[in-house]
Chains A and B, each alone.
Chain A
Amino acid sequence: MLTIALPTGRVMRNAIDFCEEMGLPVAKLRETGRQLVVQEGDFRYILSKPSDVPLYVSHGVANIALAGSDVLRECTVDYVELADTGRGQCRIVIAGPQKLRALFSGHPSELMWLKVATKYPHIADSYFSEMGVQVEIIHLHGSIELAPTLGMSDCILDIVQTGDTLKANKLVVLKEIAPVSLRLIASRQSVSLKWQQTMALLKTITRPKGETSYEH
């Protein structure tokens, strides 16, 4: 029995499609209602909030999982990153009003004490700390784009896919931080003790052009 943790929400469809391409049974998974644990053949799926997916892996509850690289970057738990699926692509960016463009193209010291709203406080802290810049991080859990509009923050750090939400809130991308995509991860004990099983799954991955995957 292999237990696989999958993220719910925006990337769930991508994750299920990917599982299907790996040759995993997903019929029940597509029909799941409020069920959080789905068993199909020799596989058990755990459906979880995206930010919790790495925790299931690090605690050894799930053998493998699909998680966004934004979530992986934000959390610091232990796991092994096996493949970049190339799916669910978007970007982590800093966005804000047009008038801040000059600040971000100038010397980092000009960013000192900026108020940054984000649901990724760890990424924000790492990014600005590496530049030696102290900022005030406002940790929000959703509707991040509202923060500058309502004067709560100067800018935001968030993921952007099409940029439509930014545009609707009169925000522009000020800095690109990292590309984001869905990654296949595994627990340390699965990699050490179930390597052949894990690799068998990996070998079935059909890779779209340009993506990388850890394959033999």
Chain B
Amino acid sequence: MNRLPRGCINVGGSVAISMDRCRKVFMDLFAPFGYEPFWPSVLQLLESAWPHLPLPFRRRLIALNTPYGEPCCLKADLTLAAVAYFASHYAPGQQPLRLCYADRIFKRPERHENRIESFQIGAELLGWEGEGADIEILWLLLQWLDGIGLDQSVLVIGDVTFLQYALTNVKATVAERLSTYLQEGNLVAYEKALSTYDIPEYSYNILKHLPHLKGGEGILNRGDSLMGSSQHLAPLRKIFHTLDDLGYAERITLDLSLIRELHYYSGPVFHIYACPSGPLIGGGGRYDGLLAEYGLGGQAIGFAVDLEEIATLSHHFSTPRSAMIWSALLPPESALKRASAIFKRGIRGEISWNNNEKQSYDSAKERGYEWWINLATEEVTNLKTHKKTPLTLWKRGEIPCSQ
């Protein structure tokens, strides 16, 4: 039997093509802004990953030993790998560092899940100071989503420091319990805990309203009045206004009770939805605290998106194959040169080396191509209408390119 280990996957066909195109759009967009590709090792030392991950996440690590006997885990989080790389390879003077990646991650599946591996694409901006970097990451992210056809995607943005301030005078065990309930989405238990435990009135008043602080800009004013100060939500307000100025106001929803699964976030955090009724495809946020755990100063922000999920939702997924080019029994060197000239015009396709013209033509139809090009006659056939057009016309741009 030819099968993969349970929970693993080979990705090919239209999903793989779409993943690759989404990745290309991503790299083309981020690279000019100084984001360097990063290919982390598939293994992380357990001793390095363990202290930085919360218990529920640790339980999902897939542990193994290297042939050298070192206890490791398959990488479950790319941000950790990026920060560790940054800490060990760059001197303080070389900050900030911009990294982007598209790689597999591995986690033990929860019940009702099957997969142990998935694909993440993301970017990290490490070790910067001052304003602007939050916006840079969020703006590039939104640009990328637009670029792959997800122009209805929504960012839900919160700020974990708001909750931290609200819990300042609350007993540590109670604070932890309330945070856990919010993170687990157990609002019934959250409210019960609020009414059960002895919580200072100032904190109680904020915490009681916290899960309701979702929506537009008005939420920030509400948060300010509960806090009695506009200081705590100033970074979030700045992000909101700047994204508004950049034309993205309708794609932003605020949620002051938003908490991410990983506890290393320490400022604005966000979730990414493919559309207002679509699935959660990723998220990210500020993690200055994680940098500090590695003995590094400065600030850090990043995000990761499920590449496979996003590939199936992007417009690249439904892009048909464009052209099959029949070599027409020409010598290979001649056919390759002519085909190459066509490919350079942006058309995506393949060369058919079949000796039989009809078989090549039928194969192109069966495989879903839009165009079949005969290199000998230099004619292009539309496989839906069967209309023939001279290849020279395509050179004048009269044959639409379906890339």
Q: Could you tell me which A residues sit within 8 Å of B by CB distance?
A: 55, 58-60, 75-84, 122, 183, 188-189, 191-193, 195-196, 199, 212-214, 216
Contact = CB atoms under 8 A, between A and B. Distances in A.
Interface in B251-278: 253, 255, 258, 271, 273, 276-278
A213 to B, nearest CB: 8
A22 B212 CA distance: 20
B215 interface: yes
B111 interface: yes
A111 B192 CA distance: 33
Contacts of B253: 192-193
Interface string B182-212: 0001111111100000000000000001011
Nearest to A59: B279
A180 B96 CA distance: 53
Given A188-B185, A192-B255, A192-B271, A77 B112 contact: yes
B212 A188 contact: no
Contact of B186 (A81, A188, A193, A195): A81
Interface of B: 110-112, 154, 156, 185-192, 209, 211-212, 214-215, 253, 255, 258, 271, 273, 276-280
B58 to A, nearest CB: 16
B188 A214 contact: yes
A183 B278 CA distance: 24
A81 B187 contact: yes
Report whether over half of chain B's contact residues are helix, strand or loop; otherwise say mixed.
mixed
B187 A122 contact: no
11 contacts: A60-B277, A81-B187, A82-B187, A188-B280, A189-B276, A189-B278, A192-B273, A195-B212, A212-B188, A212-B191, A216-B209
Given A76-B110, A122-B111, A212-B191, 7 more contacts: A76-B112, A77-B111, A80-B187, A192-B214, A193-B277, A199-B212, A212-B192
A75 B212 contact: no
B212 A81 contact: no
When A and B form their complex, which 9 residue pairs have the shortest distance between CB atoms, in order from nearest? A80-B185, A214-B187, A195-B214, A192-B156, A76-B111, A81-B186, A76-B110, A60-B279, A81-B188
A191 B190 CA distance: 15
Contacts of B214: 191-192, 195
B185 A79 contact: yes
A153 B214 CA distance: 50
A188 to B, nearest CB: 6
Nearest to A60: B279
B231 to A, nearest CB: 25
B188 A82 contact: yes
Contact of B154 (A80, A191, A193, A195): A193
Contact of A192 (B187, B191, B258): B258
A193 B273 contact: yes
A183 B192 CA distance: 15
B216 to A, nearest CB: 11
A191 B185 contact: yes
A191 B156 CA distance: 11
Contacts of A122: 111
A38 B187 CA distance: 29
A58 B271 CA distance: 15
Given A192-B271, A199-B212, A75 B280 contact: no
A200 to B, nearest CB: 12
A213 B188 CA distance: 6
A214 B271 CA distance: 23
Contacts of A84: 188
Contacts of A60: 277-280
A82 B280 CA distance: 19
B178 to A, nearest CB: 14
A83 B188 contact: yes
A59 B186 CA distance: 18
B112, B188, B190, B276 pick with most chain A CB within 10 angstroms:
B188
B279 A78 contact: no
Nearest to B158: A192
B393 to A, nearest CB: 46
Contacts of B211: 214
